[in-house]
Structure 1
């Protein structure tokens, strides 16, 4: 897999749970089928929106096996493999490559904030442990750690497989421009934060986005329109969905928001979220669907899937 192959829309796959909190295999299969139906360019597993910080090792293995079985090589898979420490990240990264990851998305070590030397050692150890592309995940809101642009550039010069950055440090647009200008083509940039600045990121040179997974068709269409040079249409579509996208970034509730929409569309059978995430209440649920009035995302306009058969 080459660096240039990683572009487009790579939704972060939610982890469907049963109403009692176990991984729901059939809902997960249906969720993957929904992404493929939306013609996504790839799928990302074990991101923050996957509740990856709550998953047991055996659950990661189960999820990886199910997703691979459903995708069957149709699109690339990116596995999140960041950890609180170097040894854990190296272990997860090696496992991810052996489990079928085409690329890795790696948070810096969180919990204890690393200095520049520790951060460089951490990412360097991962880069030396695998031979697939690595995307540095700059997500300070979620992790509490920001990756300086100078560190991104240094790492990309030192390790040939550090090829991408997912910029989630607001305002993402400013940092994307900095990375684009300073990396001299060594780093491709993806946007994050649920796509809240998606259109502007594309205008600044981002090659893709990794949003949540309940509106993949909309993200794909925006990307297609933009690449076709139909920027006015891409901008109009993006701004029509922006109130909905914004609700999917509410701290503590974002994961539940994504799942409520997937549940309403019959993609998953339960909107259960694991602690420390909080479920939505009746008021927030109303706000979610009020933001979709007059809009027609695929999730609410598709035929029932196999889990209802």
Structure 2
């Protein structure tokens, strides 16, 4: 995989769990087959939709080993090395590389407060530890640091970073990175994590999308991407609007649980109802959806003709 090749639809793969909170390997391989059947262009394991923050290290290793082995080179597999600071992240990165991951996805440091100069050291440290492309993950809602666009572009020009997965919600900043990449002629992959505005991001010049909802409906996101790439913006908009309506399933958990519990629970409930995974289990301490809420997810799937 070259630095410029991570494009298209790269879903952040959910991590199926058993009721005892072990990785459900059989369900994970079925989920991978479901995504490959949707003609996705790559897979991202151990990101936010993978519940990476909730998984012990042994679970993380099982996920990377299972997905890399099952994909067997059909598409690139990038792995999140998400942890608080550089030395811990470097350990995760080396483990993922040893398992065969094609790239590593890294946030800014968190828990500790860091200066942009320290964030730069962080990325340089991980790049030195892993002989695969490194992708920055801009996720300020979780790590409390917004990645500066100029820093990303400079590290991209130096070959430290191969690209950006942007989940910041800062559309202006995202567009500035796209413009900066274009103006400097960089081989730097710019991916949006904002699954509800993919058509807009692609119109601005984004290289692809990392959609959590893509676990549930990879075919829809692939249709959207292909329509945009062919210049059929009306078709891209129509597909995006259908996916926006489907995305309302993330709210079925209501006010008695966190938004993350509701969204990840809804994704897993949808996969369970579609027969792709065996259990809708989410990792503790997330609050699970109850039977009525899972039934609501089913109604959303039926409305989208996915059930």
| TM-score, scaled relative to structure 1 | 0.89
CA distance in 1, matches of 2:305, 2:4: 32
Which deviates more from structure 2 when the two are superposed, residues 180-189 or residues 62-71?
180-189
CA distance in 2, matches of 1:246, 1:112: 34
How far residue 43 of structure 1 moved from its aligned partner, in angstroms, is 0.6
Match of residue 255 from structure 2 = none
Whether 1:256 and 2:270 are equivalent positions in the alignment is: no
Match of residue 210 from structure 2 = 210
Residues 191 and 210, structure 2, Cα contact 8 Å, conserved in 1: yes
Aligned residues: 295
How far residue 105 of structure 1 moved from its aligned partner, in angstroms, is 1.1
Match of residue 278 from structure 2 = 269
1:199-252 Cα distance to aligned partner (Å, 9 max, x none): 111111111111121211111111111111211011101102202224438433
Match of residue 304 from structure 1 = none
CA distance in 1, matches of 2:97, 2:123: 16
How far residue 131 of structure 1 moved from its aligned partner, in angstroms, is 2.4
1:140–1:283 distance in 2 versus 1, CA, 3 Å: farther
Whether 1:227 and 2:229 are equivalent positions in the alignment is: yes
Residues 81 and 89, structure 2, Cα contact 8 Å, conserved in 1: yes
Whether 1:181 and 2:179 are equivalent positions in the alignment is: yes
CA distance in 1, matches of 2:199, 2:207: 11
| TM-score, scaled relative to structure 2 | 0.90
- What RMSD over aligned residues (CA atoms) do the two structures have, in Å? 1.8
Match of residue 169 from structure 1 = 168
Structure 2 stretches lacking a partner, 5+ long: 252-258
Match of residue 105 from structure 1 = 105
How far residue 254 of structure 1 moved from its aligned partner, in angstroms, is 1.4
Question: SS of the counterpart of 2:101?
Answer: coil
How far residue 282 of structure 1 moved from its aligned partner, in angstroms, is 5.0
Match of residue 306 from structure 1 = none
Residues 61 and 96, structure 2, Cα contact 8 Å, conserved in 1: no
1:35–1:223 distance in 2 versus 1, CA, 3 Å: same
1:174–1:281 distance in 2 versus 1, CA, 3 Å: farther
Residues 48 and 142, structure 1, Cα contact 8 Å, conserved in 2: no
1:250-302 Cα distance to aligned partner (Å, 9 max, x none): 433211111010000000011111123222245644553444444234xx3xx
CA distance in 2, matches of 1:142, 1:161: 23
CA distance in 2, matches of 1:288, 1:50: 19
Runs of 4+ residues deviating >3 angstroms: 246-252, 281-294
Question: SS of the counterpart of 1:4?
Answer: coil
Q: Which residue, 224, 237, 240 being the options, matches 2:239?
A: 237
How far residue 132 of structure 1 moved from its aligned partner, in angstroms, is 1.4
1:104–1:248 distance in 2 versus 1, CA, 3 Å: farther
CA distance in 2, matches of 1:161, 1:231: 34
Match of residue 192 from structure 2 = 191
1:120–1:277 distance in 2 versus 1, CA, 3 Å: same
CA distance in 1, matches of 2:104, 2:207: 16
CA distance in 2, matches of 1:17, 1:140: 27
Match of residue 81 from structure 2 = 81
Residues 244 and 291, structure 1, Cα contact 8 Å, conserved in 2: yes
